[in-house]
């Protein structure tokens, strides 16, 4: 499973990229607003330090505007993925970019039929939002499972990018369901490494090692 970080915080991206765990980055207009940075400049900087795919979302909701904005975003760097909403205009724009070998991420996917449409227009990634479905008392993970089955039935190459991930448990469940990618907030990525037995075990090892009075170096 590939790991993307879902943030517009450059410092976080830099730190996580240095761990070797990061395969890519996703952003959205809300995250860009939170970052308070110039959008295109920030995407350019991220693309320079992360060699993997970096999703940059169009702001327009109309086909023509999506094409114009997507063209600008795609020119920022080779690893930019144009992120488009799952609407009829967004799907049409996805087809436009996929026929021109520009990578796309179709976002705000909440149903298996929507994912099927994204795959049919040749999306590189489709982003089912797990957490937002959970928020309205549905099971986001059922959606990942359904999409996996459908994509395997027809050998679609569109990758399932599990998004709106809120907890380490979401990551485990998405991996079990066969999501190709999980995009997570930085805090969730860090939490994946944590376990209380690792913490207490290490504390004991450090204490016992100190008692030997030895040094490895
Ligand atoms: C995905 O690409 C989105 O940016 C993101 O995962 C949305 O997450 P949220 O529902 O926590 O805002």
**Pocket probe mutation, ligand 1, options 107, 125, 129, max atoms within 8 Å of Cβ:** 129
Collapse the DSSP code of 183 into the 3-class scheme (helix H, G, I; strand E, B; otherwise coil) and give the result: strand
- pTM for the whole structure: 0.96
pLDDT beneath 70: ranges in the chain: none
* Ligand 1 center from residue 158 Cα (angstroms): 19
163 CA closest ligand 1 atom index: 6
Q: Check residue 101 and give its pLDDT.
A: 97
**Domains of the chain, first to last:** 2-212 (3.20.20.70)
The 3-state secondary structure of 110-140 reads CCHHHHHHHHHCCCCEEEEEHHHHHHCCCCH
d(CA 166, CA 140): 11
* Ligand 1 center from residue 151 Cα (angstroms): 22
Q: Minimal CA–CA distance to 55: which of 13, 95, 18, 16? A: 13
Q: Check residue 80 and give its pLDDT.
A: 98
CB 188 within 8 A of CB 149: no
d(CA 102, CA 45): 20
């Amino acid at each position: 499973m590939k790991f993307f970080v879902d943030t517009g915080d450059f410092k976080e991206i830099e730190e996580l990229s240095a761990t070797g765990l990061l395969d890519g980055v996703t952003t959205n207009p809300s995250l860009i607003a939170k970052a308070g940075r110039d959008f295109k400049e920030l995407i350019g900087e991220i693309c320079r330090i992360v060699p993997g795919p970096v999703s940059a979302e169009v702001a327009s909701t109309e086909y023509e505007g999506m094409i114009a904005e997507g063209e600008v975003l795609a020119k920022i760097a080779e690893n930019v993925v144009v992120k488009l909403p799952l609407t009829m205009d967004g799907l049409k724009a996805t087809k436009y970019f996929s026929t021109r070998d520009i990578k796309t991420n179709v976002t705000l996917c909440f149903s298996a039929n929507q994912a099927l449409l994204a795959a049919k227009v040749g999306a590189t990634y489709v982003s089912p939002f797990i957490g937002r479905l959970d928020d309205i008392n549905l099971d986001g993970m059922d959606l990942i499972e359904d999409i996996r089955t459908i994509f395997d039935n027809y050998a679609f190459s569109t990758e399932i990018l599990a998004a709106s991930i809120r907890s380490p448990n979401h990551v485990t469940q998405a991996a079990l369901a066969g999501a190709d990618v999980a995009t997570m907030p930085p805090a969730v990525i860090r939490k994946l490494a944590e376990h209380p037995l690792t913490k207490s075990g290490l504390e004991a090892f450090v204490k016992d090692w100190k008692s030997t009075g030895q040094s490895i170096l």
